[in-house]
Structure 1
Amino acid sequence: MRLIGNAAAGLSLAALAALLWLWQPAFVWRMPGADRIAVAVAACLLWLSLCVWARRGRGRTPPESASGTVAVVYASQTGSAERLANQTVSSLEAGGIGARLIHLRGLDSAALPRSATEAVLFVVSTTGEGEPPDDARAFVEALRRRPAAVRDLRYGLLSLGDRSYAQYCGFGREFESLLRTGGATPLFETVEVDNGDATAIERWHDALAVLGTEALPPLVPEPFLRMRLEARRLLNPGSPGGPVFHLSLAPEMGTVPDWQAGDIAEIRLPGSAGLIREYSLASVPADARLELLVRQQRHADGYGVGSAWLTLDCPLGGPVDVRVRRNSAFHAPEGSRPMLLIGNGTGIAGLRAHLKARAAAKLGGAWLIFGERQSRHDFHFREEIEDWQRTGVIERVDLAFSRDTAQCIYVQQRIVESGAALDDFVHRGAAIYVCGSLEGMAPGVDAALRQVLGSPLLESLAADGRYRRDVY
């Protein structure tokens, strides 16, 4: 349509020029009469009308800002919102719209009015029962205290959630309420996404047309890679808990995808209309394979779909479709900062990747607090952990095996018991990483850390990226 409009305008002006040329055979100056003045005025009016008509055919123009860009702001707990925010930036830029990616923690609510003429696209996830991602809490608290900080913003909101939780998209809905209360203006209706639903993501893409482009390229997801199940080993025979398997995936051809400790493997289950299961990576790129810990899930009506296929049905050497999701919210701290690693059950997978990375970098200063059922059956990767202790990668290990004593002991109790040493460790600069079950362990550990360190310090650590969680 834009090309047709421009061509029509050009042809009309060419015809007018030819008419005037024929009417004035010689370029001799003479005082124009009233009729010539009228023709000149008519030509100017025609030109302005054509400009307005062509301009309307282009749709809305992108909101301008000092930087000439659209801000795409994300808050992500496990990397899903971060990935969609990156895909949104790529689509906008391919469509001719400047875009920049910002983490929500990088915004200052007091400075937001300076971006009043800039479109802001928020991509946020909900963690737990309606909570914001850990490192977005400080911004949200500031916005609660000063909602008018967003009064001039024009925004779009993509809210990620999971309907299996009671507070579906709870944080996204609260965040939208804060924006509206503060006087921000929505560019379009908020898009909610249930567990990565592709149809909802398409609605988000379509809504972005309000930014002024007619041919915005689609959001391009990362492709799945075909790998094969190289090894599968039961780690806890005789355990009172569910069987835990250590899986190794090797590439069918070429090399494994690049990743960092803290990233997540997405496994596409066969014959399930695109059903995906997510697992913390337990290996590092130097291993040249993806390693996972999968607990076999058993329910009243049978096995869990994902764990049954990976631990029972997929044959050794069989194909597995996998892709790695970047999860910068659980990446290692920069430099040689000490790490307090806390986890339970299969959560040792994500902690193991960090320990392997620190061992390869010849870094010490790690403290591991790990819990499971019985030390005899459930001390996953015991030999590696003991070796890391001998070589100085780990300076301290505290274990909590709940079935080894008459009174159950959990990792949160180990935290409280070690309160003074833990407080000193954090004040030496340590970062806290928690990996494991969302129910029971994660809130218990959070409460124990608040008891030992105090809530203000823990919130400050989260805002600074020194308190990070990969919980599920």
Structure 2
Amino acid sequence: MLRRLHRWPGLLAAVLLLALSISGVALSVFPAMEAMSAPPAVLEQSAGDLAARVLAAHPTVEQIRRAPSGRITAYWFDGDRAGAAVIDPATGLDAGTADPSAVKGWLTDFHRAFLMEDTGRWIAAAAALAMLVLGLTGAALVAARQGGWRRWFAPMRGPVAGRWHGEVARVAAVTLILTALTGLWMTGATFGLLPDDAANPVFPDAVSGSVGLSPDRMPALAAIPVRDLRDLTFPYAGDATDAFAITTAEGAGYVDQGTGALLAWQANGPWARIGEWVYLLHTGEGAAIWGLLLGLLTLAVPVLAVTGVVIWLARRRVGGVLKGMAPAAMAETVILVASEGGTTWGFAKALGQALIQKGGRVHLAPLAPFAPDRFAKARQIVIMAATWGEGEAPASARGVVERMAALPPHPVARLAVLGFGDRSFPSFCGFAEDLEAAAQKAGWQALLPLDRIDRASAQGFARWSRALGDALGMALDVHHQSAPPRSTALTLTRRQDHGEAVQAPTAILRFALPRRSLIDRLMGRGLGAFRAGDLLGILPKGSQTPRFYSLASGSADGFVEIVVRKHAGGLCSGQLLDLMPGQTVQAFVKANPGFRTEGGSAPLILVGAGTGIGPLAGFIRANDRRQPMHLWFGARHPASDFLYGDDLRAWLGEGRLAGMATAFSRTGQRQHVQDRLRADAGQLRDLMAQGARIMVCGGREMAQGVRETLTDILAPMGLTLAALKEGGRYAEDSY
């Protein structure tokens, strides 16, 4: 519901909001221009002193106005001809023309009413209301995406358009909400929909009847500083019954022209005082820096409009739309989907269409928000959930596990959870497992036990669909082949070969970083930004199933680098090891947020063996701030597969690497990396006492040995790997 409430005002009012925002950005420049062009104010000058100086320069002056920007304008009549000028407050003399800017006038009319007077004002108010709804719902969606308001500024993930939309929204949301609220307030004030308690004093019954006192000698005017002045109207020439009329930020009153005494005064009411602040906050007039900041943040609207449309189109392409789909309240089978990249939606649609063809009433929807009471006639609910990172929920489904555990189960419907993931990751289908555990704890009836689909396997999904059909009492055999990930051609520029002497051919492969246009970035084409430790998916020829390699570089390095060892019968590794400079492969980047450095001053313990050195080398290469990084590295022989050996020694000299310990299994000492860790147990404990974080990368057997060794080393300190992992001090990338 929240997502729909956010989507439709944005799509329907997009053109109006773009017009309002662009004209508002242009108008935000004028307060700063006026403030810069206004003659400098005289420190602590009074309204009486200013009036005396202007009167001396223009004996027929009728009115002085001070704009919020500080610019002072005087108006007079010279015979029958009206005159006006911007005034230098130090001299009272003309300092510039008072003619209004035609451009500003046109922009103001366009911004307030689209050049359509009252009708246009109502249209602008409707657009402001849409902006308010978008701001409030957008803020709530960002909070949900981030896992709560406390994680508002936590790193964002997901497709490029979604990240841009979220990043810009969380920076500009407060300003856009404020702009919408103040715009609606000003519309309400214009049409008399708000109380009007601005000062409007009654003209005094009696005046002194004398004239000729200079304004700078009038006590009432001397008590009012120019910075508070809004308007000073002079008495009609020769009329002893008239008086000065003065308006300030606080109220309005009349001053006797013969004695200078305050004859009448009325303060502004609370509504008028609030209106002053509303005007300043909406226009920036009187606060030039705020006006420029307001204009800068309002530029978020075009960005949000473009990225929002891209997101909407992408969701239309992969989202929950089925021909013949039943409403949520009428469906007997409900399919709920949690997906990061959209692949899981394809399987969900294939299942839903097959059930509809069997005569079933099916409803397909995102897993979040999880609200079982919406499905009044459901007989079965199927959750199809992908896993992100180290067993995490996709960004769109954060908080669902907690919600499932807290809500009562559906009174009738039985539940089946199907996980999608990659078995090469340690937390394979971890999110689906958490959902299953929460459902069991909440007391849901099981339709099928938890099952898992590895790397979008069409065969695995068909097998599961047959089991679902048996549970539903129907023949069901759903075949769906997911489309291969969108990939980019990478051209090999350099390779360094190792390991031939120890029968383990290995190469460090460096590819050129393809250029991406702004449109490519918005549409999510190309590699996108990446960091060492993220994954490069390679699509080998003759296969639609990608193989993943840890990246040894970040996009800031200007190249793409991986380390590949040839495996017997390995389709992808064989093709990669056959590549020559100038040849290309198809690839894409997959984020790996659970295996990234966090910066800071605490030491970082890096442990790797063989090709596991790849991301660790990338961390060290990017260590511009010289965080203390200590490497323990294992290989077969220093002369054959000491990967990055020359680089590591250079980084030691530069301070990017604080210490390095090596272990080689094909030398006389025959030592593995876990053996070297055990020998250096004292140093490891010292580093852990300083708050060090441990990162391990390599094969599964090596990682298991390292875990066992570290468990023994850290036990005397009362530290466990489970507790360290929970606290963000242990990360592992094994394969």
TM > 0.5 fold call: yes
Cα gap change, 1:152/1:432 in structure 2, threshold over 3 Å: closer, same or farther?
farther
1:420 matched to 2:690: no
Correspondence for 1:152: 408
Deviation at 1:170, TM superposition (A): 8.9
Deviation at 1:178, TM superposition (A): 3.8
**Matched position secondary structure for 2:602:** coil
The counterpart of 1:223, out of the listed 479, 486, 502, is 486
Deviation at 1:352, TM superposition (A): 0.9
Deviation at 1:247, TM superposition (A): 0.9
Letter of the structure 2 residue corresponding to residue 340 of structure 1: I
Alpha-carbon separation, structure 2, partners of 1:335 and 1:430? 10
The counterpart of 2:549, out of the listed 265, 268, 279, is 279
Deviations 1:332-380 (A, max 9, x none): 125343210000000000111111221xx32230010000011122211
1:266 matched to 2:537: yes
CA contact (8 A) 2:494 2:510 kept: yes
Question: Which structure has more RCO (C-alpha within 8 Å, separation ≥ 6)?
Answer: 1
Deviation at 1:197, TM superposition (A): 2.1
Correspondence for 1:292: 562
**Matched position secondary structure for 1:330:** coil
Deviation at 1:319, TM superposition (A): 2.5
Deviation at 1:237, TM superposition (A): 4.4
Correspondence for 1:354: 619
Alpha-carbon separation, structure 2, partners of 1:430 and 1:376? 31
Counterparts of 1:375-394 in structure 2, within 5 Å, are 375-394=638-657
Deviation at 1:286, TM superposition (A): 2.2
Correspondence for 2:327: 58
Cα gap change, 1:310/1:59 in structure 2, threshold over 3 Å: closer, same or farther?
same
Alpha-carbon separation, structure 1, partners of 2:345 and 2:688? 36
Deviations 1:149-199 (A, max 9, x none): 66836776342466899x997978975764454244269754521233257
Cα gap change, 1:198/1:401 in structure 2, threshold over 3 Å: closer, same or farther?
same
**Structure 1 unaligned runs (5+)?**
1-55, 63-69, 73-80, 102-114, 128-132, 137-147, 208-217
Alpha-carbon separation, structure 1, partners of 2:723 and 2:382? 26
Deviation at 1:85, TM superposition (A): 9.8
Alpha-carbon separation, structure 2, partners of 1:363 and 1:233? 27
Cα gap change, 1:135/1:376 in structure 2, threshold over 3 Å: closer, same or farther?
farther
The counterpart of 2:455, out of the listed 195, 205, 223, is 195
Q: Percent identity?
A: 27
Deviation at 1:271, TM superposition (A): 2.2
Deviations 1:20-51 (A, max 9, x none): xxxxxxxxxxxxxxxxxxxxxxxxxxxxxxxx
Counterparts of 1:20-419 in structure 2, within 5 Å, are 58-60=327-329, 99=368, 123=385, 133=390, 152=408, 157-160=417-420, 178-179=437-438, 181-185=440-444, 189=448, 190=450, 192-197=452-457, 223-238=486-501, 240-251=502-513, 254=516, 256-272=527-543, 274-298=544-568, 303-312=569-578, 314-358=579-623, 361-406=624-669, 408-419=670-681
CA contact (8 A) 2:530 2:589 kept: yes
**Matched position secondary structure for 2:720:** helix
Alpha-carbon separation, structure 1, partners of 2:509 and 2:682? 38
Alpha-carbon separation, structure 2, partners of 1:59 and 1:268? 39
**Matched position secondary structure for 1:453:** helix
CA contact (8 A) 2:651 2:657 kept: yes
**Structure 2 unaligned runs (5+)?**
1-324, 350-363, 375-380, 394-403, 469-480, 517-525
Q: How many residues align?
A: 345
Deviations 1:429-449 (A, max 9, x none): 21110000112x111000111
CA contact (8 A) 1:191 1:203 kept: no
Alpha-carbon separation, structure 2, partners of 1:135 and 1:371? 31
Letter of the structure 2 residue corresponding to residue 281 of structure 1: L
Cα gap change, 1:294/1:315 in structure 2, threshold over 3 Å: closer, same or farther?
same
Letter of the structure 2 residue corresponding to residue 182 of structure 1: K
Cα gap change, 1:161/1:259 in structure 2, threshold over 3 Å: closer, same or farther?
closer
CA contact (8 A) 1:232 1:311 kept: no
Cα gap change, 1:263/1:168 in structure 2, threshold over 3 Å: closer, same or farther?
closer
Alpha-carbon separation, structure 1, partners of 2:590 and 2:388? 17
Alpha-carbon separation, structure 2, partners of 1:401 and 1:58? 64
Alpha-carbon separation, structure 1, partners of 2:611 and 2:661? 17
Deviation at 1:99, TM superposition (A): 3.7
Larger radius of gyration: 2
Cα gap change, 1:71/1:457 in structure 2, threshold over 3 Å: closer, same or farther?
farther
Alpha-carbon separation, structure 1, partners of 2:365 and 2:452? 26
Deviation at 1:414, TM superposition (A): 1.7
Cα gap change, 1:402/1:100 in structure 2, threshold over 3 Å: closer, same or farther?
farther
Cα gap change, 1:162/1:60 in structure 2, threshold over 3 Å: closer, same or farther?
same
Alpha-carbon separation, structure 1, partners of 2:505 and 2:498? 8
Alpha-carbon separation, structure 1, partners of 2:587 and 2:711? 37
155-164 or 454-463: bigger deviation: 155-164
Alpha-carbon separation, structure 1, partners of 2:343 and 2:690? 34
